[in-house]
Structures are given as structure tokens and as C-alpha cells.
Amino acid sequence: MLVKWIRCSVVDRHGFERGQRKWAGLLGEPGFRGQGGGWSRTRPDVAHVFAFWDNRVFYDSFMARGHDRPATGQAGTFRDMQVMLFERRFDVKTGFEPEFTDVDVVRVAHSSVHEDRAEHFTLMQKQVWNPAMAGSPGIVRGLFGEAPGNEFLVLSMWRSSAERGKYRTDGAERLAARAQTETDVAALSGDVVELEPSWTV
């Protein structure tokens, strides 16, 4: 599965949200699996959108054919758009599906990993972080993805921000030490996204 992560700073919130609803036209596109997004909790002008496709072939076909029509509806409503594509490597918890109707919050963590530590980082995600997250109350599903250049994405979906807060404060430093995260990771960024139901496709 291909994961597309879009992050941008919105300058016209009403126009952006109106345009976001037009992406409902993605339904029925070959290979399209789902899309959702919302607003950053820490920076209210920052929007995140997550889209899921069966593979790169279907995604590239859509980008060549149908992307520009809905995209023009949001022209001028945002700036500083960043787009990254990741291939799903494995699930956090089990049976990931790109569903947004049963969750309120998405946590996204993006790691740039030292080249000689990428294998160790992936192993620690499986052996240390995944069991801790899967056992946390409130997490519904998640995935671990990889992009060229030793870039990794952990996307987790939660029933509420309060439940995710419990996980964050419950031993994250201890887990990071056990996983040697500081040794593996060159740069780490992330956000907590409050989902907007009207953006779900």
C-alpha cells in the first residue's frame, strides 16, 4: 500500500475546507483506498491529509489524469506544501485499513534515519515500539512506512487525544532508550492531527 502524506500552511481556512470536500471525487478511482485529514493541534493553521493507494502504478495514473481538476479548487488557499510518499512495510497492531470514521486523532511521526542504522531502527519499531503502542488503550490501528533515503513514517490512529496522551506520558522515554532511538535517528518531526470528518473519503 502507498501512503501519501500532505502537510501545508493554510491561509484561507474556509476556502481550503470547501476545496477539501471536493476530493470526494476520488471514490471510484482505480486503486484508491481512502483519504482523511484534519488540523494540527499545535499549529492551528497547519493541515495534514493522508491518502492511501493500492500501489504506485494506480497513484501515478491518477496524478497524470485526474489530480489537477480537484486541486485547482484549493489554489491560493495554502502555502508551503510538503508531500511525501511511503510504502507500507508493516502494521502497528494488526490489519491496517485506511478508515477514519472510528477515530478522532491521528499521530504522525517522521524519522530521517542514519543509513547504517536503518535496519536496526526498523527492527526496534517491530520489537519495542509496536508492542507498546498496540497494548495502549485507545489506539485503533496504525502502520509503519518507508520512503527512499532512509525516511520512515509511523502513522497511528486513536479514539481520542486523551487516550493518546496517556501513551505519550507512559514511558516513552524508557522505550526510546531501550530502542536506542537517539543513535538511529538523525531528525525527528511529528504532529497530532484532529480529524475533520468532512474530509474523509
CATH number at residue 161: 3.30.70.100
pLDDT digits (tens, 9 = 90+) for 81-102: 999 999 999 999 888 999 999 9
CA distance to 7, 35, 86, 93, per residue, from 195 (Å): 14, 11, 21, 20
pLDDT at 167 over 70: no
pLDDT at 3 over 70: yes
Residues 1, 54 contacting (CB under 8 angstroms): yes
**Residue 43 placed within a domain:** yes
pLDDT of residue 173: 84
Domains contained in the chain, number = 1
Domain assignment present for residue 201? The answer is: no
- What nine digits make up the cell of 145? 512506512
Q: Please give the share of the chain, as a percent, with pLDDT higher than 70.
A: 95
Continuous H helices in 43-99 = 56-65, 68-72
CB atoms within 10 A of CB 25: 12
Mean pLDDT of the chain: 93
Residue 6 domain flag? yes
- Domain span at residue 81 reads 2-196
Phi then psi dihedrals of residue 51, to 5 deg: -120, 150
Tell me whether residue 119 is in a domain.
yes
Residue 155 to residue 50: CA distance in whole angstroms: 10
- Considering the domain boundaries, does residue 128 fall inside one? yes
